[in-house]
């Protein structure tokens, strides 16, 4: 789990960093010309709507009455005793549909509605974003098509079934490793061919304005957590922990604390079998900057600087890229990123289930594993782990 901080041409973190779709040097809009005007229009509508009090009230209405926000900040007493440190869990697993993804899909579906969209398309790995998109589309009476790698569809069969019940069409692909990267490629191709569709991107990745849009709708996690920890402990936490694939649940938690340098930010990437190319999905630990799927960020690459296949047992982390804001946080040193292996995540999955009666998603278990390792025998430390999803979707995989 050693962190490899890149000090070459190191940037300086600043709250003035986000301009024109860039987070420092990362981000941008690298797409075919047919999509540029579409994305520029989306960016304009987004900037307009987030300043519209009626739109903000509409989003907050659905957050409260449909999703069930605010989600609790729970003091994990038995886990804290086991680790000998003070640990809170931000319970995004208790949201409607069982994960943080619904925050973003409800927000984006409202944007789509105001733009007159009738068809929603999305990609998914772990299936949680697919379920959340299908849910939001059903709520608004829109057609929904979800793209998924065949391998992910097989290991997340329960979520595929849920999407179909909700009325979505699930399109699987056998390309490449048949995982999230390939699902995004197929979804982008469909979007190019059907530019009238609304692409509801699931994580803080891809071309501008998606990293900013997803961040905006996920910031509620950190805003709530900040208020809750101040009310409960009368101080800010020392540490934040979250898992990072694309990085939406993590940036959602971190956003409210980025300007508090005393709050440490620690992220767990899907380490797979360890720090070995083709056996890991630990992008920020082992990757290099590259233009990939519409944005400039870190990516796992080979000697020819081409994106490579990845591996993690967590479908939601099994992705060679990462959101551009995370790349910026890494290079400035504001955020620290670690490789957490499948085995470490499984041990955390089993332990939290037995100690707290909470079955976490295998993705979230990576963050739990990292917190357990780093906070061991540190009773003076106060930490928040973002429990981004529940483990119902993983029950068919025989993890115990």
Residues noted as catalytic: 101, 123, 388
Longest dimension (CA), the chain: 56
Contact 222, 112 (CB under 8 A): no
Torsion of Cα atoms, 308 then 303 then 331 then 282, to 10°:
40
User: Which helix or strand (DSSP H or E) is residue 146 part of?
Assistant: strand 143-149
Q: Encoding tokens for residue 181? A: 């990267």
- Give the Cα separation of 327 and 271 in Å (integer): 17
Q: Is 291 helix (H, G, I), strand (E, B) or coil?
A: strand
HSE-CB at 20 with a 13 A cutoff on CA atoms is 1
- Name the one residue in this structure whose structure tokens are 């930010």: 265
- Give the Cα separation of 46 and 49 in Å (integer): 5
Contact 195, 34 (CB under 8 A): yes
Q: Is 171 helix (H, G, I), strand (E, B) or coil?
A: strand
> What are the start-end ranges of the H helices in 84-240?
101-114, 128-140, 150-155, 157-165, 180-193, 210-233
Torsion of Cα atoms, 169 then 173 then 178 then 182, to 10°:
-90
């Amino acid at each position: 789990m050693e962190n490899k901080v890149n000090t070459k041409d190191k940037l300086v973190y600043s709250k003035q960093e986000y301009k024109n779709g860039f987070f420092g040097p990362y981000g941008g809009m690298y797409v075919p010309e047919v999509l540029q005007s579409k994305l520029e229009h989306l960016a304009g509508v987004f900037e307009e709507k987030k300043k519209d009090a009626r739109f903000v009230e509409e989003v907050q209405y659905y957050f409260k009455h449909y999703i069930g926000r605010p989600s609790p900040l729970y003091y994990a007493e038995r886990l804290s005793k086991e680790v000998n440190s003070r640990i809170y869990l931000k319970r995004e697993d208790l949201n409607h549909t069982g994960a943080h993804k619904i925050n973003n899909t409800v927000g984006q579906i409202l944007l789509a509605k105001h733009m007159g969209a009738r068809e929603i398309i999305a990609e998914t790995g772990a299936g949680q974003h697919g379920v959340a998109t299908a849910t939001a589309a059903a709520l608004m009476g829109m057609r929904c098509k979800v793209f998924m790698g065949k391998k992910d569809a097989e290991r997340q069969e329960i979520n595929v079934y849920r999407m179909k019940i909700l009325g979505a069409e699930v399109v699987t692909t056998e390309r490449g490793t048949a995982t999230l990267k390939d699902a995004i490629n197929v979804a982008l191709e469909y979007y190019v061919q059907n530019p009238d569709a609304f692409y509801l991107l699931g994580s803080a990745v891809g071309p501008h304005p998606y990293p900013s849009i997803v961040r905006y709708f996920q910031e509620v996690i950190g805003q709530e957590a900040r208020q809750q920890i101040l009310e409960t402990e009368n101080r800010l936490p020392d540490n934040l922990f979250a898992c990072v694939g694309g990085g939406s649940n993590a940036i959602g938690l971190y956003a409210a604390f980025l300007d508090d340098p005393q709050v440490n930010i620690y992220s767990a990437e899907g380490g797979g079998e360890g720090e070995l190319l083709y056996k890991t999905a630990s992008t920020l630990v082992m990757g290099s900057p590259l233009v990939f799927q519409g944005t400039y960020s870190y990516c796992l690459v080979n000697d020819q600087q081409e994106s490579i296949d990845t591996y993690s047992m967590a479908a939601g982390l099994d992705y060679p890229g990462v959101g551009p804001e995370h790349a910026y946080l890494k290079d400035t040193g504001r955020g620290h990123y670690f490789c957490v292996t499948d085995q470490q995540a499984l041990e955390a999955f089993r332990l939290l289930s037995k100690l707290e009666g909470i079955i976490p998603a295998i993705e979230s278990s990576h963050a739990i594993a990292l917190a357990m390792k780093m906070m061991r025998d540190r009773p003076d430390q106060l930490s928040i782990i973002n429990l981004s999803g529940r483990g119902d979707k993983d029950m068919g995989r025989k993890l115990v």
